[in-house]
Amino acid sequence: MELKDVIQEYKDKTGVSDSEIARRTGVSRSTAARWSSGDIHRVSEDTAARLSKMLGYNISPVLKGMDIVVKLPVLGYVKAGYDLFAEENYLGEEEASLQDCRRGDYYLKVTGDSMVGDGIMDGSLVLVRQTDTIESGKIGVILVGEEVTVKRVIYKESMMILEAANPDVKNRYFTGREV
């Protein structure tokens, strides 16, 4: 990741312009535009500090070509199987890259073996992005009533299938009304 990537990500997330970035960091608009275009790769320590304040994290490692590592919470367990009630249970934190932070909000620890065929083993951590929808064919953490499970979600006609990746575990089928 480079400075231009950090700036572009911030612009995409906030909708601000180069002019606004310039105002917030105390540089000229042309300097902010050159950050965005990748014409400038390095900045002074003072400017890096102002950029870090604007972004909400220290960008010095990015400017040195290093990955930024942040911590994401592990908020409990998810069953690779069935019959586990959803309950938030803070288990600590795990390190994550900025790229992982873009893909998920928190981790859950897996118990059970229904997803071993997809490489999700008992004791694994799964990165979860909170959302109300999931595409057909994707693996997700699904709340069914008060139960929580990790499964591949398949939509067919007016039904949703929670598909296990272990032949010893049965799939579950839900009608449109149940969903």
Among residues 30, 136, 151, 170, which one is catalytic?
151
Residues 42 and 104 both lie in one domain: no
* Contact yes or no for 7/25 (Cβ under 8 A): no
Residues 170 and 143 both lie in one domain: yes
Helix axes 3-14, 18-25, angle to 10 degrees: 110
Q: What is the CATH number of the domain that holds 55?
A: 1.10.260.40
d(CA 129, CA 3): 25
- Which of 173, 177, 167, 141 has the alpha carbon at shortest distance from 154? 173
What confidence score (pLDDT) does residue 29 get? Answer: 93
What confidence score (pLDDT) does residue 80 get? Answer: 84
Report if residue 17 sits inside a domain.
yes
Q: What percent of the chain has pLDDT over 70?
A: 99
Residues 147 and 113 both lie in one domain: yes
Q: What is the pLDDT of residues 133-149, one digit of tens each?
A: 899 999 999 988 888 89
Residues 131 and 97 both lie in one domain: yes
* Contact yes or no for 143/108 (Cβ under 8 A): no
Q: Is the pLDDT of residue 176 over 80?
A: no
Burial call 104-125: b when 16+ CB within 10 Å, e when fewer: eebbbbbebbbbbebebeeebb
Residues 49 and 114 both lie in one domain: no
Residues 86 and 11 both lie in one domain: no
Residues 84 and 166 both lie in one domain: yes
Residues 97 and 30 both lie in one domain: no
Identity (one letter) of the amino acid at 43? V
Residues 53 and 88 both lie in one domain: no
Does the pTM surpass 0.75? The reply is no
Residues 115 and 55 both lie in one domain: no
Residues 82 and 56 both lie in one domain: no
Report if residue 40 sits inside a domain.
yes
Report if residue 30 sits inside a domain.
yes
- Phi-psi map region of 109: left, alpha, beta (phi>0 left; psi -120 to 50 alpha): beta
What is the chain's mean pLDDT, rounded? 88
Report if residue 26 sits inside a domain.
yes
Question: Domain containing 19: what range?
Answer: 3-63
- Give the bridge partners for 108, in sequence order: 126
What confidence score (pLDDT) does residue 55 get? Answer: 86
Neighbours of 12 (CB within 10 A): 9
Q: What is the CATH number of the domain that holds 152?
A: 2.10.109.10
Q: What is the pLDDT of residues 85-112, one digit of tens each?
A: 777 788 889 888 777 877 888 999 999 9
Among residues 53, 114, 124, 170, which one is catalytic?
114
How many structural domains does the chain have? 2
138 catalytic per annotation: no
Mean pLDDT of 1-21: 88
Q: Is the pLDDT of residue 116 over 80?
A: yes
CB proximity list for 15: less than 8 A, separation 6 or greater: none
Q: Is the pLDDT of residue 179 over 70?
A: no
Q: What is the pLDDT of residues 31-81, one digit of tens each?
A: 999 999 989 888 888 999 999 899 888 888 878 877 777 788 998 888 887
